[in-house]
Amino acid sequence: MARKGSKPSKIVIPRPLLLQSKPMRNPYVKWERYPSGEVAIFVKYKKGLMRRILSSFVKLPEYKKIALDKVGSYVWELCDGKHTVGEIADRLVEKYKLRRREAEVALIAYLQQLIKRGLIGLIPPRSSSERLSSKSN
């Protein structure tokens, strides 16, 4: 049991399991692709007390805009629940001429930031026992 005020412990996902997981965009997050190919994500501001007070004096924006660069936009579009983390890393290696390990490390760090902000989630791979039981039904 965690003590009050202590940091929650980090969940460590084994690398092979992580590479087989499929990142998926949060369906409630608004985003758009610009003609340049870059993506902007729009995150709704939380309605706290201070925000409500300020909004009575000034018109505040409803969304915060996060502009992604070309690589971030490319990864964002591949976070569709169909591609695994390993497949996305492979594509980064091909497209941007990176070393495999370099692509994995950068990709995992980027995905962690997106997960922390609630912009994506990870779909774990189905275990072989689940596949067997679903085939028999």
CATH number for the domain including 27?
1.10.10
Residue 129 lies in a domain: no
On whether residue 2 sits in a domain, the answer given is no
- Residue 87 has what pLDDT? 98
Residue 128 has pLDDT above 80, yes or no: no
Between 118 and 60, residue with greater pLDDT: 118
Residue 131 predicted with pLDDT over 60 = no
Domain assignment present for 130: no
- Our measurement of the distance from residue 68's CA atom to the centroid of its chain's CA atoms, rounded to an integer in Å, reads 12
Split at pLDDT 50, 70, 90, the class of 120 is: very high
> Is 8 within the bounds of a domain?
no
Whether residue 68 is contained in a domain is answered as yes
Kindly state whether residue 25 falls inside one of the protein's structural domains.
yes
pLDDT at 53: 83
- Determine the pLDDT at residue 107: 97
pLDDT of residue 132: 38
Where residue 47 falls among pLDDT bands split at 50, 70, 90? confident
Structural domain of residue 104, as residue ranges?
A: 15-118
pLDDT digits (tens, 9 = 90+) for 26-37: 999 999 999 999
Across the chain, what does the average pLDDT equal? 87
The total number of structural domains in the chain stands at 1
Residue 6 lies in a domain: no
Residue 135 lies in a domain: no
Instruction: For 84-94, write each residue's pLDDT tens digit.
Output: 999 999 999 99
